[in-house]
Structure 1
């Protein structure tokens, strides 16, 4: 995971370019419309917030948002965004150690991070999310579906079922990045016995867990 953190730290300045892909605009607009009703009036812990792209959607209706990320470099960009009158705070934090984050949260949002969790760790990560949300709260996950020609190709698959992509930054540096693409059934099994509601778009999926 330290290698993954290093990739996103080095990518901070070009982090949001992925949201410019023309074929994904309709799906992105739909996701940004689906999220606010899910967190309306809630105290939200955002895991792996990156540059705050999704924080701007959450903050429109949430009572508060604590946006966390392991990299200060991406949070520095997030702090420059406009969040209107929303109560938005930022904190560096480890996504695998949510218990160390102070506060009480009745919604947790992890956007585009589930795919970076190794299969061997996914149950532990899921338990960390579910243990941290208050009773009656909701865990919200969003991530990519694999679509040939839109995603980076898968370049390696391990015996555990983890899939990897080779990605290149604008300066030419290359990284091998863990990127898994779970099915609805696989996600439900990983989160059982919690109940999962799944919304499938062309390029993304959204799941609510309670």
Structure 2
């Protein structure tokens, strides 16, 4: 995961450019509308919060949010945003070591991180989320669907089925980034026996797990 972490750290100042793609605007608006009711009045643990783009949407209804990310460089951008009345705190944390994050949470949101988890590790990652959510709480996942022409092309596939993209920053540097595109059945299998509700958009999917 070191190159993935390096990529997002170096990309911090241009992180949100991906949300400017014209063809994705309708889907992004739908996600911004779907998420707030799911966390209304809840204490939220956010995984891989990045620059706070989705933290801002969650904060419109959540009681509190602890927004975590591996890179403090992206959280530094997140700290510059306004989140209204919600109690929003930031913490650097490893998505695979959530026990290090203090607090009790009745909602966990992992936005656009599942796709960066090796297939061999998805069940371990998913169970880590389920272990941290309080009984009666909800785990919320959102991520990309692969759409030719909108996503970076897949440049390498391993024997294990993990797919990679070659991404370029504005200064010309390139990074090979793990980016999987799981199916509904693959997500359901990883979180079983928990129940999954699935919403599929053109460019994204949203899953709620309880």
TMscore range, shorter length: over 0.9
Show the 5 A alignment for 1:95-106.
95-106=95-106
Show the 5 A alignment for 1:33-182.
33-182=33-182
Report the CA distance between 1:21 and its aligned residue.
Answer: 0.1
How many Å separate the matches in 1 of 2:185 and 2:107? 23
How many Å separate the matches in 2 of 1:64 and 1:198? 25
* Structure 1: gaps spanning 5 or more residues: none
Superposed CA deviations along residues 58-105 of structure 1, whole A, max 9, x for unmatched, are 000000000000100000000000101111000000000001110000
TM-score (norm 1): 0.99
Any idea what SS the aligned residue of 2:45 has?
strand
Any idea what SS the aligned residue of 1:185 has?
helix
How many Å separate the matches in 1 of 2:188 and 2:130? 13
RMSD over equivalenced CA pairs, Å: 0.5
Any idea what SS the aligned residue of 2:53 has?
coil
Report the CA distance between 1:179 and its aligned residue.
Answer: 0.2
How many Å separate the matches in 1 of 2:8 and 2:112? 12
Show the 5 A alignment for 1:188-203.
188-203=188-203
TM-score (norm 2): 0.99
* Structure 2: gaps spanning 5 or more residues: none
Could you tell which deviates more after superposition, 200-209 or 184-193? 184-193
In the alignment, which residue of structure 2 is the partner of 1:6?
6
Superposed CA deviations along residues 174-210 of structure 1, whole A, max 9, x for unmatched, are 0000000011111111111111100000000000001
Superposed CA deviations along residues 13-45 of structure 1, whole A, max 9, x for unmatched, are 100000000000000000000000000000000
Moved over 4 A (4+): none
How many Å separate the matches in 2 of 1:116 and 1:197? 21
How many Å separate the matches in 2 of 1:145 and 1:132? 26
Superposed CA deviations along residues 113-165 of structure 1, whole A, max 9, x for unmatched, are 00000011111101100000000000000000000000000011111110000
How many Å separate the matches in 1 of 2:169 and 2:139? 32
